[in-house]
Chain A
């Protein structure tokens, strides 16, 4: 059970203020909420990317918990090593065997969907007691908005630019959450920052479950998306209401929808006013394609969750 807001507001932040994320950035919210979901001590590993770069500029640190960054593609393997050390030292009585420590890794979509997928898959398959959280902002933001396999089709990025013969990213998004579910691990979920109770409930589950857990959270990026800095939470809400980013969880292989919009909004509600999608509105067929893709995926998810469209 997620503690009530009153209680949560009295917990001290594990990612403190003073970090250098852009105004309106989503990942600090993701990181803070996830880490507020447990009172147990945690050790964090971070993949290279915005979250790492903005929070750890020597000699300063925004982290009030033990934290390690070692490279871009290996947050899964790094946290696995930390957790293995914990298991070993605990078993040997070299550290307090009665003190439970939680292990969390954070990575952006590039560090998770792409270059870090192998290390993540390995860590999940080996059954480490860890929670891996992907903050998916839909591109390699730290290096200047390059496309990743999480970038939505049609999006303009610096490596899938709109041009005379290009309408942005051609390819579909990789469904990483489903790939993680296919690892048959105890807990996999998808969440969004606009629904903090759902996000924290999922983080809590992922942190306390016995075995590996994976949480994918949509993370707005005003710079990369070309959106108003005050609108991140609203875009997150629209992503969910349009079923572009459905909220669900897979617990021990059982798919469960966490939220079903009363009236599914057209995907244009999410796309509109984002500079990265602006060019799509010049060609109706492009929007139709994207809508069809969202609809198909939503239908697939409903079936997996044993839900009807109504």
Chain B
């Protein structure tokens, strides 16, 4: 995110959860169906207070599980409503079956997800295992570095999901506790500006149009299922365009510039890390430090993971000699995390490509310190100078 200078006096101090709840208040969805789970509980808690005070027109469905929360959200969306929910970790996992139904039924549901580790063992702190586990569920996935981005992304997500060429659900992530509970200064938009920006939802075949009955979620066998999946593939390609289109419009109202990913000191970098979400902030700080010491280091921060911007990422990384991809989850393939696998695959087409290593980091909320990131760059420097790669998949800051 590139920010136009605004007077700090215009900023407000909010936690990530507060920022997201505030964005939801401005979105004013017709229906919110949800179930509590740390660290996302607060979003719905704060939002419930807005509903209780009549500050939103939302019908609340306080479901008895996340599975039902997502089911009710799907029902509401199919009925023609703008419907939202929010969750994290085990809650997202319990929704898993319904995530595919939401995307397969092409319902533009928007859901903030607060990233948290998954059981077992039980852990409430941040990593990305929850949403990486649903990366193939047909949802658009947008990751936010901080509360400002979470706020901005959530508002944009409504437009992206409901874009006529897209009609897909979208989840917007922020890191559990680090961002969800961390207080930061951010800029919100006036209510009217948000309202105008998102407009009214224009549902395609709402169930509540009782004079034109439609059959939703039929049995779809060998003769048509594949065609419907092919359409979903197409919609994801369209989503990439829509994300950029919506970002350009959002820049006009906010001064905040978004793309598929963000780069920092990458142009002349000899060593780079690819890292998502809150750890990008720490990385920027480390880059500034190391640059002062003469090391040409840079960073690429993916924002959009689904659709996966393969060509764009590859173009941005192909000329960098050594790259470390940071994964805050493990796919347990034995070959590294999901981000690593996909970025490596994206670079396969290129004759000249970086030496790449993978760092699994920050699982279960393991703190990502300045020294942690610095050690990664030092490792890359050794690889760059010696050409010796060593282990392809590494675990950062872990007791062996």
| A binding-site residues for B, Cβ under 8 Å | 41-43, 45, 52-53, 56-59, 61, 63-71, 73-74, 76-89, 91-92, 94-95, 99, 101, 118-119, 121-123, 125-126
Partner of B76, one of A66, A81, A91, A125: A81
Cα separation A61 to B215 with both chains bound (whole Å): 7
B67: chain A residues at CB < 8 Å are 73-74, 77, 119
CB distance from B223 to the nearest CB of A (A): 8
Cα separation A91 to B81 with both chains bound (whole Å): 12
Interface check B33, CB cutoff 8 A: yes
- B75 pairs with A78, CB closer than 8 A: yes
| B binding-site residues for A, Cβ under 8 Å | 30-31, 33, 57-59, 61-65, 67-69, 71-81, 83, 97-98, 101, 105, 207-211, 213-221, 224
Partner of B220, one of A58, A63, A86: A58
CB distance from A299 to the nearest CB of B (A): 33
- B76 pairs with A82, CB closer than 8 A: yes
Cα separation A43 to B78 with both chains bound (whole Å): 11
CB distance from A84 to the nearest CB of B (A): 4
B31: chain A residues at CB < 8 Å are 81, 84-85, 88
CB distance from B18 to the nearest CB of A (A): 24
Partner of B58, one of A82, A83, A88, A123: A88
CB distance from A126 to the nearest CB of B (A): 7
- B81 pairs with A122, CB closer than 8 A: no
- B218 pairs with A57, CB closer than 8 A: yes
Partner of A81, one of B64, B74, B209, B217: B74
Most buried by A among B72, B76, B77: B72
- B61 pairs with A68, CB closer than 8 A: no
Which single residue of chain B is at the shortest CB-CB distance from A72?
A: B97
Which single residue of chain B is at the shortest CB-CB distance from A81?
A: B75
B76: chain A residues at CB < 8 Å are 81-82, 84-85, 88
B58: chain A residues at CB < 8 Å are 88
- B74 pairs with A78, CB closer than 8 A: yes
With A79-B75, A95-B208 as known contacts, state yes or no: A53 contacts B219, CB within 8 Å.
Answer: yes
A-B contact pairs, 30 of them (CB 8 A): A56-B219, A57-B221, A58-B218, A58-B219, A61-B215, A65-B213, A66-B210, A67-B214, A68-B75, A68-B216, A69-B216, A77-B72, A78-B72, A80-B61, A80-B63, A80-B68, A81-B31, A81-B73, A82-B78, A82-B79, A82-B208, A84-B75, A85-B75, A85-B77, A85-B79, A85-B83, A92-B30, A118-B65, A119-B65, A122-B64
Partner of A89, one of B78, B208, B210, B213: B208
B98: chain A residues at CB < 8 Å are 70-71, 74
A68: chain B residues at CB < 8 Å are 75, 78, 207, 216-217
B217: chain A residues at CB < 8 Å are 56, 68-70
- B224 pairs with A58, CB closer than 8 A: yes
- A56 pairs with B218, CB closer than 8 A: yes
Partner of B72, one of A52, A53, A80, A125: A80
Cα separation A92 to B83 with both chains bound (whole Å): 15
A88: chain B residues at CB < 8 Å are 30-31, 57-59, 76, 81
- A119 pairs with B207, CB closer than 8 A: no
A122: chain B residues at CB < 8 Å are 63-65, 68
CB distance from B220 to the nearest CB of A (A): 4
- A82 pairs with B207, CB closer than 8 A: yes
- A89 pairs with B71, CB closer than 8 A: no
A84: chain B residues at CB < 8 Å are 31, 33, 59, 61, 72, 75-76, 81
